[in-house]
Amino acid sequence: MKIVILDAYTVNPGDLSWEALEKLADVDIYERTSPDDVISRCKGAEMVLTNKVVLNAEILCMLPRLQYIGVLATGYNVVDLEQATRQNIVVTNIPAYSTDSVAQMVFCHLLNIVGRVDYYANENRNGRWSESEDFCYLDHNLFELRGKKMGIIGLGNTGMATAKIALAFGLKVFAYTSKDEDDLPDGIHKDELDDIFEECDIISLHCPLTEDTKHIINKKTLQQMKSNAIVINTGRGPLVNDAELAEALNDEEIAAYGADVLTVEPAQKSNPLLNAKNCYLTPHIAWATIEARERLINTCVANVSAFLDGEPINVVND
């Protein structure tokens, strides 16, 4: 069996090893693959691993030897599942490997916003503290989290992990979820979406991207929010309307936005959020702690091994 990894760099930029996978089959590793090179690189392989490289129906039709696609992520929208199924190609993913890392990033953004860590660190690099007449200086209000209301939209694995951290900080947690109120852990209260927008100080997005949730943060919902509201998005970029959110930030209709995702990635220079007031963006790295990437590779190896043994696991096109 031959395995081709189409975009190995983001998962493993060199600090981890593919050795366990190489013990299972011959492996060709490409750091990045352009759309024009996908077919030529996959042509002789029975197994292909991809993170973000698209394998659409047209490409799959050109790969009659292909038996297995391993998506190196939880989301598998980069693969045409219907065509894969027609060709009897098994498709697997890597579920829940980065739950704790993504929940942690929620609070990296939130604590930066309420504590102004980035701002003060940069001021001190420029000599501000050294020139201060007092032992400290304060030109931005700082806020405690305890007692504030946090609304969590979507209470899957990451939403639940975020809620548990929020409770430890003393936040009052409200969730928009399909789960029954009686099934929620103590301290997490089920709430309506409008109530979350109108009453919560912090709103964290963890829902899947669907037709119903696309642009769930928009001009109308932003106008419902408090002027001190903070929105955190570690879910999907298109959950927010970039232009309408940037306008609300610049007009100080809400306090701040922290996000690890954008509608188009890598970021387009024209995206208004890049220069919006009180907007803090990280480059889609919440998932990428070394521990999460180790789990990803370990699960990838387990998926490949199970397929080779004839008992595939984590299959998404049953």
Domains in the chain, please, with CATH? 2-93+291-308 (3.40.50.720), 99-281 (3.40.50.720)
Active-site choice (31, 181, 192, 265):
265
Which residues lie closer than 8 Å to 120 by C-beta, 6 or more apart? none
Q: Which residue has the tokens 């007009």?
A: 251
Asked if 31 is an active-site residue, the reply is no
pLDDT for 88 equals 98
Whether the full predicted model's pTM is greater than 0.85, yes or no, is yes
pLDDT for 157 equals 96
Asked if 284 is an active-site residue, the reply is yes
Going residue by residue through the chain, which has 318 residues, state the pLDDT in tens, using 9 for 90 and above: 999 999 999 999 999 999 999 999 999 999 999 999 999 999 999 999 999 999 999 999 999 999 999 999 999 999 999 999 999 999 999 999 999 999 999 999 999 999 999 999 999 999 999 999 999 999 989 999 999 999 999 999 999 999 999 999 999 999 999 999 999 999 999 999 999 999 999 999 999 999 999 999 999 999 999 999 999 999 999 999 999 999 999 999 999 999 999 999 999 999 999 999 999 999 999 999 999 999 999 999 999 999 999 999 999 998
| CA dist., res. 109 & res. 105, Å (int) | 6
Q: Count other Cβ atoms within 10 Å, centred on residue 242.
A: 22
Q: Count other Cβ atoms within 10 Å, centred on residue 27.
A: 20
Q: Could you tell me which residues are beta bridge partners of residue 86?
A: none
Active-site choice (206, 284, 293, 295):
284
pLDDT for 318 equals 85
Active-site choice (109, 116, 206, 236):
236
What's phi and psi for 106, nearest 5 deg? -55, -45
What's phi and psi for 261, nearest 5 deg? -140, 150
Asked if 236 is an active-site residue, the reply is yes
